[in-house]
Structure 1
Amino acid sequence: MGVQVESVESEAARAVNAALTGSFVAGVCFVALTWTTTQAKSVRSASPWQTDPYDVVVSFTEFVVPAMLLLMALRMLLWRTGRHRSQPAFRAAQLVRAATATTGLVAVTVASDWIAVVVGANHAVWTKPTTPVLIGALAVLTAATAAGLMVQRKAVRQLLPDRSHDGDWLDDIEPLATRLWGGRAVVGPVCYRSITAFIRRHDIAVPAAAAMAAGTAIAGLQAHGEKWTDPTLVLFAVVVATSGFFGMAMLVNHLIVFITPASPLNRKGRAVRAAVTAAALGIPAAVAVRATLFYLLGGVIGHTPSGLLLLVTGCGVIVGTLTFAVGMASARS
């Protein structure tokens, strides 16, 4: 696809650097806290946010945030390399979008954790000094997140008008590969164009396949670690993880323009994408509030793996259908 190469002014470039720095500070602090509270059993046992619905949020963002940081770090090799030369405006805008989206995911998790603290979730297992230290670390992360969002807001303002749709992240695959391999092209330009064209033609299938691979791997590790023997329980974990990662991927792609569709979308295409994304995110959301759903349904669906699978997939279908209907109705108005 065509790439705009309008240069980014030095003041705007400094704003981009500040936005990226803010995102990495908040992101690294977030990874350190969440991985400690999820992987260290002695710490997790005293965490206010160790159970659902708070844990559902963390279980996805603890993987998505570091993945976003890695993607930004790779693309920053081109940004840093060319800081004294013209920078494509779309690259700057997309990096700021990515930084803001990453810090936003951290902010959502921080808000969820604070709700757990305020309502006294799992208060019976709070211990000293572990729980107060965790709350103090959460306060530090909150400050870093707020600071990051402030500098990113400034960067967004300085990069207006937003040129983020003049290209996508795939446009930087070839120059990034050349950069990583010391100036030598790994494969020919035709091969790069074929790869990127394939991904753009299958901009839903590719994230879906990646989400399924990640979801299956994580569910498999969880099943192995907790010694599950019920195949339906394993399937339930795979469905929830895959759906969550796919929904996150679609949402993030909409925000940072990682993949641009090969053909422009009509209103039905946009409604379908919104519906698929909402349905995928609706499944882990249903897991988070399953106790409330069980109560509302009056025990019609049992607390079994098969009942849970039916409940959450049904919620996903309902959310997706409603989203599609609203999208089509708003497009007509």
Structure 2
Amino acid sequence: MAPMKLSALWAVAAIAAVFEVMALVVTQDAAVRATSPWQADPYAVVVSFALLAVPTLDLALIVRLPAWRAPGGADRAQQTARAAGALLAVIGCALATGWAAVIVRGSAPAPLVAGLAVLSVLAVGGGAALWWQRAPRGPARGWRHDWLGDIPLLGRWFPGLAPRVRAHATALFAVLSLVAAAGVVGAQTVGDGWTDPVLIGWALVVETAVLFSCCVVANAVAGFVARPARSRAAGVTESAVVAFASGLAAVTALRDPLWTAVTGAPVTTVPTLVGLTVGAGLVAAAATAAVQMWRTAA
């Protein structure tokens, strides 16, 4: 791919780094957070997700770019551009959420609005550069190379590790998601003083399901790990888990407006929270599994 394309990818990586720094300031600095219009749900759910997803994708992007001219250039170009596009999409969703919070609230501190405007301009510019310098479309299912192949030390020091990771990618996604979720929920438990084991368990399920789904979707988009062909049952199960996480996250973010519309009052108890959100996730999972089974049987 042309050098200008590489420069566009580096620009996206830089934009993501700027976004992460500013997002950390507005969410972790107590004085700034107290004045931000997106400190509460449903806005906080999207921003919190972006805080985890953006640095992860950005780090993967930065690590791969030095291997730009190694064998497998066509696959690398398409996969890396897709990853950069996914990174900008996450940033765009977070920025759109921030603007929605400002509009709904009706006002916000001028520095926060200015920062939001600067990030929005950068994100639009990065997206335009990526689109303008895009490569011709190629098949997303015909890749012969993946991101693991661009880690030379992995093959040199652990020659059998990459094939094992590819063969057990789903299990790896699940373990990594659980470990990351445990860290997030543990920090939140300590920070917010949670003591209810049901609430802690529910939060662990939510975080694990969402992170696992992000791994699956991101891998399908950008081909981080080349996965072997899966059985019909495995494909249906994976799709159902992604749908479960999507339903769970959406209703978690919108729980108070939804419950208020039904009962006239927001969610105030843990059992109600668990029943509402997990129930929505199970409905989404069942519907997705039914549709997937019907499509694969046809």
Q: How many residues align?
A: 297
**Range moving further from structure 2, 36-45 or 232-241:** 232-241
Q: CA deviation at 1:76?
A: 1.7
Partner residue of 1:20?
A: 9
Instruction: Give the conservation status (yes or no) of the 8 Å contact 2:72–2:144.
Output: no
Aligned ranges 1:1-333 → 2 under 5 Å: 12-79=1-68, 82=69, 88-120=73-105, 126=108, 131-156=109-134, 158-162=135-139, 165-173=143-151, 175-177=152-154, 185-187=156-158, 189=159, 191=160, 195-262=161-228, 264-265=229-230, 269-298=234-263, 303-331=268-296
| Paired residues of 1:93 and 1:162 also in contact (CA < 8 A) | no
Give distance in 2, aligned partners of 1:32 and 1:73.
16
Residue 44 of structure 1 and its aligned partner are, at CA, apart by 0.5
Most deviating of 200-209 and 162-171: 162-171
Measured on the aligned residues, the alpha-carbon RMSD in Å equals 2.4
Q: TM-score, normalised by structure 1?
A: 0.81
Shift of 1:35: 0.5
Q: Following the alignment from structure 2 to structure 1, what is the Cα–Cα distance between the partners of residues 98 and 270?
A: 27
Scaled by the length of structure 2, what TM-score is found?
Answer: 0.90
User: Could you tell me how far 1:316 is from its partner in structure 2?
Assistant: 1.1
Structure 1 contact 26–106 (Cα < 8 Å) conserved: no
Distance apart, 1:269 and its partner CA: 4.4
The alignment partner of 1:204 has SS state of helix
Over 3 Å counting, the alpha-carbon distance change for 1:176 and 1:115 in structure 2 is farther
Conserved 8 A contact 1:19-1:96: no
Residue 296 of structure 1: CA displacement?
Answer: 4.5
SS of 1:161 mapped into structure 2? coil
Distance 2:267 2:74 in 1: 54
One-letter identity of the residue aligned with 1:234: I
**Distance in 1, Cα, partners of 2:214 & 2:226:** 16
Deviation at 1:332?
Answer: 5.3
What is the CA–CA distance in structure 1 between the aligned matches of 2:270 and 2:117, rounded to whole Å? 37
Runs (5+) with no aligned partner, structure 1? 1-11, 179-184
Unaligned 5+ runs, structure 2: none
How far did residue 313 of structure 1 move?
Answer: 1.4
